[in-house]
């Protein structure tokens, strides 16, 4: 059992959830970035304890190697996460231009008042 990783992941998820539940666009964005980090770590924790294992490059060491599959998954997840973050950034910018606010509740109040 990797107690420290489990704690870290739990803390990251909790903080990300808290941030996403805020009103501000910026905090939601931060929460989203944290959330993708937390999810990546969650997948990584599935590869088991790394003690006594080597990086997944064959032929470098005699030790058993860690599981490469979660790493490959996470690698794509990081890059996709970047793409989604970028989209979110542009989306928030566009929302700001249209609605002239950075707050979710403001945005909906304006729409209801129309």
Partner 1 sequence: MIGPRSWIFQVVVRFAFFIINVFALYLLLRGHNQPGGGFIAGLASAAALILLSLAIGIEALHRLIRVDPVRMAAGGLLLALLSGAGPMLGGAAFLTQFNWHLHDLPLLGELHVGTPLVFDFGVYLVVIGICAKIIFVLVESTEGLPGLVVEEERRYSSPLEEPIEERPAAGKEMGRDAD
Partner 2 sequence: MPPVSLLIAIFFPVLGAALMPALGRRLGPRTGWVALAFAVVSASMVASFIPQAQDAHTHSWPWVPSLGLSLTFLVDGLAVFFGLVVSLMGVLVMLYGTFYLDDHYRDHGRFYSYLLLFMAAMLGTVFAGHLLLLFIFWELTGITSFLLIGFNHETDASRDGARMALLVTSLTGLVMLVGIVLLGQMAGTMELSELLANPPREATGLLNIVMLLVMVGAFGKSAQFPFHFWLPNAMAAPTPVSAYLHSATMVKLGVFLCGRLFPVFQQCEWWMPLLAIVSFGTMLLGAVMAFLAVDLKAMLAYSTVSQLGFLIGYYGMAPARGVDFDYLHILNHVFYKGSLFMVAGIVDHATGTRDIRAVGGLWRRAPLLAVIALIGCATMAGLPGTTGFLSKEYMLKEVFSAFTEHRILGWYALVAIVLTSFIKVAFSARVFHGVFFGPETEAVKHHFHKPPLGMLVPPLLLAAACLLLGLMPSFLGQSLATLEVTGLHNHAHGELHLWHGVTRELLASMALVAGGFLTYAIVYRIHLNDHKIPALLRWDVGFQRGLDGFGRLTKRVTRWLRSDSPLDYLPVMLATLTLVVGGALVRGVGASLFDGTWTLPDALRSMTAGLIIAAVLGVMLLRGWIPQLLCLSVAGFLVSFYYVLYRAPDLAMTQLLVETVTLILVLILLSRFPGSTEQEECLRPLGVGRRLLNVGLSLGVGVLMFTLVAVFSREPPANRVGDLILDRTVPLAAGSNAVNTTLVDFRGLDTLGEIAVLVITTLGCLGLLMRRKRTREEYRAGAKGPAGMGLEQAGLEDQA
Q: Return the ∠ at Cα 12 (arms to 1 and 34), rounded to 5°.
A: 135
**Nearer to partner 1 by C-beta: 18 or 82?**
82
**Nearer to partner 1 by C-beta: 63 or 90?**
90
Which residue, 33, 44, 62, 36, is CA-closest to 6? 44
**Nearer to partner 2 by C-beta: 1 or 62?**
1
Q: Which does 105 bind (CB under 5 to 8 A by kind): partner 1, partner 2, none?
A: partner 2
Residues in contact with partner 1 by CB under 8 A are 55, 57, 75-76, 79, 82-83, 86, 89-90, 93, 97
**Nearer to partner 1 by C-beta: 7 or 91?**
91
CB 16 within 8 A of CB 31: yes
Three-class SS of residue 24? strand
Cβ 109 to partner 1 shortest distance, Å:
26
CB-CB neighbours of 16 under 10 Å:
20
Q: Which does 110 bind (CB under 5 to 8 A by kind): partner 1, partner 2, none?
A: none
Residue 13 burial (C-beta neighbours within 10 Å; 0-12, 13-18, 19+)? middle
């Amino acid at each position: 059992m990797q107690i420290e990783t489990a704690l870290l992941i739990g803390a990251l998820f909790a903080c990300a959830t808290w941030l996403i539940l805020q009103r501000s666009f910026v905090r939601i964005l931060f929460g989203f970035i944290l959330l993708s980090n937390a999810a990546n770590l969650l997948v990584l924790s599935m590869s088991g304890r790394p003690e006594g294992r080597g990086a997944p490059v064959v032929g470098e060491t005699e030790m058993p190697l860690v599981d490469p599959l979660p790493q490959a998954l996470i690698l794509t997840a990081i890059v996709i996460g970047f793409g989604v973050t970028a989209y979110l950034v542009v989306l928030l910018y566009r929302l700001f231009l249209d609605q002239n606010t950075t707050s979710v509740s403001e945005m909906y109040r304006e729409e209801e008042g129309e």
